[in-house]
Structure 1
């Protein structure tokens, strides 16, 4: 073996081990805290109805913008509850119109959800004026979204206008879109191995599908530390298959066993589409469902698993 070849191999070995230590998750500080659940949206498949029979599973209507759904989401372990904002910036009425509090005011929502944070989700067709109206309503009820830990979210780039306006109105608040979260993830996938957090992620949000964790350098502890140091947040979402997306909005977790695919040290947020079943599975002490409701929920889980085979 020639001298230059030996030197080249030695240099490669040094670079390789340097890269390994730079991105070694086990060498990063252990993340502090536990993950939080985002009551993102109701499960997509037609299980259950707005007016279920006694004992039937009610979870498909969570979250639903009704006071009943918000109260249940709070009780079943959600740390953040999605609230749909209509295109004109007002609170959208609940889909299940017979629910208690089906047309709530923002003040009622804030009171019932307390002390949980709210994820204000702008509907399709929202423009910059919707942001102005929502901020005015928040000021009118005396709610500080920064202090409350609230977030403002839009699913796709078509709604970036309302997101840009919200950032201008509340520069210290958590404002993001699914599109910007994907941009952060893609940028990190390309350059994260260097140990440098890309600009797209600084102060931003990264959404990570549970089946795409292995492609991110330093996952989980090193990545979580880099995002924290850069003022960013990490949200775990459902599988990356687009079948679960609705208008660019990524799907959340729908089965309790999916929690097992998330590292134990993960302390970010988990996007959940079925809080009725998944909340109690992660936090059993919050389960206040009746025995009949628990049985109905488990039956629904079995049907969902069978449908995914």
Structure 2
């Protein structure tokens, strides 16, 4: 009896191994997808950073002249190798969508109050570089240089008709999904590829109903996907939460993902999802964040064909070109 039990367990273990053997899946075609968070932007000190803290007063000494969510920043990101640029949007009182990160204006600009409670006409008058200081208020290197640089969502799409963007809806109100859908349909946007959007799960549920072909995810859907796959992925099953969205592959425990790398990537690609590598080692109260340094992706093989969520595209773009053998 013990002999048959041992054989049964051995056969089951071999079946699981073969089901999840990466080498049997072969390598993926194409190239890695680089997602530039906020474009090229001024990075900042995340130590003891609270979710609502002003980051403009925590920036490091400037290494370049770009400010996040501006057309120049997006162009620089694409020039550095980005395939997709992540942007943040807010509806305005005059029917536009402003591309701006913060919920309020007080941190980065000379304006006051909630971003969405103003007209786009007013937002265009603000200096989005006003509040940046790397030395506790002694100097403000971007003050006066960001006047009128806050773009509308339409301006972004029109400026880059052959490029792709990932839209972050900052609100948790489902009605905002309807507003965004109407706004894009009236203007025949996006001009290339499918709509890519993420935000709160309630808003994303609405987007999925309005745009069944959209690429959509939320923090909740990513968590559900990861946890359920860890429990059931050994069987080859891909949870519903993992379909047509994003799947996170933390750079510290990617080994726990059944079939990593090639079998895992194949399953998620077949499910219509994009696997994104993030940095899980240097977590902050706001959650995990993207890739800053080449060392954070050195664990990836040269034939990796998923995505990278990148914070410093100006550093990672050129490095990825060499590491993965990317063409211009």
The TM-score, its normalising length taken from structure 1, stands at 0.77
| Structure 1 pair 241–187 and aligned structure 2 pair: CA distance change class (3 A) | farther
Partner of 1:132: 178
The reply on whether 1:170 has 2:211 as its aligned counterpart is yes
Q: Cα deviations across residues 235-277 of structure 1 (Å, max 9, x unaligned)? A: 111115532x52x5x3001112222122333212110111122
| Structure 1 pair 106–203 and aligned structure 2 pair: CA distance change class (3 A) | closer
Mapping 1:40-119, distance limit 5 Å:
40-41=37-38, 42=41, 43-45=43-45, 46-48=58-60, 52=62, 56-58=63-65, 61=67, 64-86=68-90, 90-93=97-100, 95=108, 96-97=128-129, 98-99=145-146, 102-119=149-166
Distance 1:22 1:6 in 2: 24
Deviation at 1:166, TM superposition (A): 1.4
Contact in 1 for aligned 2:258/2:264 (Cα 8 Å): yes
Distance 1:112 1:99 in 2: 18
| Structure 1 pair 87–140 and aligned structure 2 pair: CA distance change class (3 A) | closer
Distance 1:280 1:241 in 2: 23
Which residue among 29, 33, 38 is the counterpart of 1:36? 33
Aligned length: 266
Which residue among 305, 309, 314 is the counterpart of 1:267? 305
Q: Cα deviations across residues 87-110 of structure 1 (Å, max 9, x unaligned)? A: 657223475443486121223211
Q: Which runs of 5+ in 1 are unaligned?
A: 287-309
Q: Cα deviations across residues 60-86 of structure 1 (Å, max 9, x unaligned)? A: x4xx11111111111111111111112
Q: Which runs of 5+ in 2 are unaligned?
A: 46-57, 102-107, 109-127, 130-144
Which residue among 4, 7, 12 is the counterpart of 1:7? 4
Partner of 2:104: none
Root-mean-square deviation (CA), in Å?
2.5
Partner of 1:153: 198
Indicate the SS of the match to 2:237: coil
Indicate the SS of the match to 2:298: helix
The TM-score, its normalising length taken from structure 2, stands at 0.73
The reply on whether 1:253 has 2:291 as its aligned counterpart is yes
Partner of 1:278: 316
The reply on whether 1:17 has 2:14 as its aligned counterpart is yes
Greater share of residues in helix = 1
